[in-house]
Amino acid sequence: MTTCDDVIRYGPGFAALPRHEQIGLAGHHILHASLRHSARMGAMAARQGPEFQQDLWQIAADAIVNEAILLAGHAVPRPAVTLTGLLAAQDPKARPSPTEALAAWDVDALYLHLDADRAGQGRAARAYAQAQGFAPDLEHDHSTRAGGEGVDQQGPSDAAEWRGHLARAMAAGRSAGFGLGAFGHRLADLPQTRTPWELVLRRLLTRATLTQPRPSTYRPARRWLAADALARETGTPAPGFEFGTSRLAHSPVILVGLDCSGSIPPEALSRLMGDVAAIARRMQGRIELVVFDEAIRHSRLLPSWDWARALRDLDLPRGGGTDFRPVMAHARSARPSALVVLTDLDGPHDPAPPPCPVIWAVPRAGKTPPYGRVLDLGH
């Protein structure tokens, strides 16, 4: 069987299965469709581009769906990938209950967790899935547009309609008191409207780097010139003088602080720097990279057109603590248009914010800084 959006295709082997496995397998694919897994997989593929690992995403989706079907009291053909089994394959000490695991993980967060370390966790996930006889059963349309705010390729109305169907089904199940409805309202994978962090970052940085016009003492406003000319021609009183405007002469600067003591996934760093570089090119701005731990270790301008090679050439120190006060002091003196800090937020903060928007890009949101906007790279 395969699922593509809301279409489920049955193969010839389905009829040969026992009835209880047919029910479980049908429920497996119905959950794929109702949780919008095909559309969400297409959205993630559009976000990550060539870096997208489709097999890892499908492993994550199957693990969540199979765990939910088994917890609801149904059967699936064995062996099968389950969420608790997948988490145990990553960390043998991690033994959450099925209910706890389903309440903690949605498919996107689980995929990003597996994809964070492709040489480690991704390999363990693939080995576990292969041992369980995993076979991909999801299809998606590669034309899904990038940057969608949790909206699949069928449009926001279809996604909202499916959320309504699912909410009504869960409410009916809760009143019955058994099956998926008894715990389904606690599923972390229930579809929600989320804005990808890349889109949030673009909006924040674009707003911060726009050059604002200011009054100019060198020339009058065009509107005043027209009104004054009309007054002279008609003999009416002259209008009050209005200054013209001029744009700021300097180009915007985006200051990127990289916490070299934190556990920043290389993929997240690469995607974030790519977005920063694209905005800098569009705004004709500059990128200053500041590498720090307890003090500032490196500070250099990165060319927006060749930031990837410049980043690879950096000798990044590892280890040590974290102190955000030197970075904030540097931002106060440099006065950039925006400050983006890649960190795990574990360190002392300067109580006085710099005179620019501050964006904290973190691998997984949890702690709250005293100021600025937190950008969760886990979504």
- 80: region left, alpha or beta (phi > 0 left; psi from -120 to 50 alpha): beta
Domain 253-376 has CATH 3.40.50.410: yes
The crossing angle, in degrees rounded to 10, of helices 54-71 and 37-48 is 150
Task: Quote the pLDDT of residue 310.
Answer: 73
Task: Quote the pLDDT of residue 81.
Answer: 92
Q: Where in the chain is the domain with CATH 3.40.50.410?
A: 253-376
CA angle 374, 379, 100 (to 5 degrees): 105
Q: What letter would DSSP give residue 371?
A: S
Task: Quote the pLDDT of residue 35.
Answer: 84
Where is 214: in which H helix or E strand?
strand 213-220
Task: Quote the pLDDT of residue 38.
Answer: 87
Task: Quote the pLDDT of residue 152.
Answer: 43
* Tens of each residue's pLDDT in the chain, 379 residues: 666 666 788 878 888 888 888 888 888 888 888 888 888 888 888 777 788 889 999 999 999 999 999 988 888 888 899 999 999 988 888 788 888 888 888 898 889 888 876 556 678 889 999 999 888 888 765 444 433 334 444 444 566 666 666 777 777 766 666 667 666 667 777 766 566 666 777 777 777 776 666 677 778 888 888 998 999 999 999 898 888 876 655 678 889 888 887 556 666 666 667 767 777 777 677 888 888 888 898 888 887 677 777 777 777 666 667 889 999 999 999 888 889 888 888 888 888 889 889 988 887 766 788 999 888 876 6
Task: Quote the pLDDT of residue 211.
Answer: 62
Token readout for 222 is 């065009």
Q: In what order do the strands lie in the sheet with 338-342?
A: 296-302, 286-292, 253-259, 338-342, 358-362, 373-376
Length, in residues, of the chain: 379
